[in-house]
Amino acid sequence: MKMTIPQRIARGLVYALLLIVFCGPFWGIVATAFTKNTVQPGQLVLWPSNPTFDHFIYAWTEVKIWIYLFNSLFVVAIATVLQTLVSALAAYALARKKFRGAAIVSLAIISTMMLPDEVIAIPLYLILHAELPLLHTSIYNTYAAMILPVVGWAFSVFLLTEFMKAIPRDLEDAARVDGANELQIFWRVVLPLVRPALGTATIFGFLMIWDQYLLPLIAVDDRNLYTIPVVLRSLRVDEVLQQNIFIAVTVIATVPCIVVYLLLQKQFNRGLMSGAVKG
């Protein structure tokens, strides 16, 4: 369709407006983080004058942001892998096996999809504090307390179950005739066939776990275990911390999500769309 010149200009203006509104603030924090001169609170610059890495170096060595970055990355890496694995195992049973109780199990798991995690925060806090049998200690104030509660995620189980249902029985039967056992069928036949869905489950899991705020807030109170989202709030109220350094910290906290999103964009969009089509 050919557009007239005024139409082209109008389109261009709309694009520019959208980019300014949705990306402008991110550009602002990046430019400010690289600016040598101290900015006033609330101020952002459009272009770094006297560009410098100093604020990042200070954030890294003095604020020790690497501790919190490590905590976040450690929790998100372990939890995402466990979440996807546990979901895939469960999905295999729900999608490929007929057994008594299957309906009840899938209903129980799917019912937690409607459950906002926030409403179980208080009982969860008490359960994290509870002493485990035999171990005589609780998982409170450990990485496990931030990891284990997010391992069970109904969305991921549901998504993988739907995809595993679509695999033809013949492939599984052929493998079985060749003498493959259940684990081999799961690992060598079914998982490779649902690889795109695994990608989708992984990126949604990553973002969901990275974004956890209330859970680390109630799961640990040792500052050395804080994740990036939790530590931001305590750094903000730190009066001595220069504004540019705080902004540099914010930039560091933004990078992992954006990198993961750009790398796994295709899988991400597929996930959103499968949600839209199913309604």
In the complex, least distance from residue 195 CB atom to other proteins, rounded to whole angstroms:
19
C-beta neighbour count of 72 within 10 angstroms: 23
Distance CA 65, CA 247 (A): 12
Q: Which is nearer to other proteins, 50 or 99 (CB)?
A: 99
Q: Please, what's the b/e burial string for 238-269 (b: 16 or more CB within 10 A of its CB; e: otherwise)?
A: eeebebbbbbbbbbbbeebeeebeeebeebbe
**In the complex, minimum distance from the CB of residue 224 to other proteins, in angstroms, rounded to a whole number:** 18
Q: Which is nearer to other proteins, 9 or 14 (CB)?
A: 14
Which CB, 42 or 168, lies closer to other proteins? 42
Residue 50: CB minimum distance to other proteins, A: 19
Question: Least distance to other proteins from the beta carbon of 249, Å?
Answer: 9
| Shortest distance, position 154 Cβ to other proteins, whole Å | 8
Nearest to other proteins of 54, 152 (CB atom): 152
Q: How far apart are CA 127 and CA 121, in angstroms?
A: 10
DSSP string of 212-258? --HHHHHH---GGG--HHHHHHHHHT-TTS-HHHHHHHHHHHHHHHH
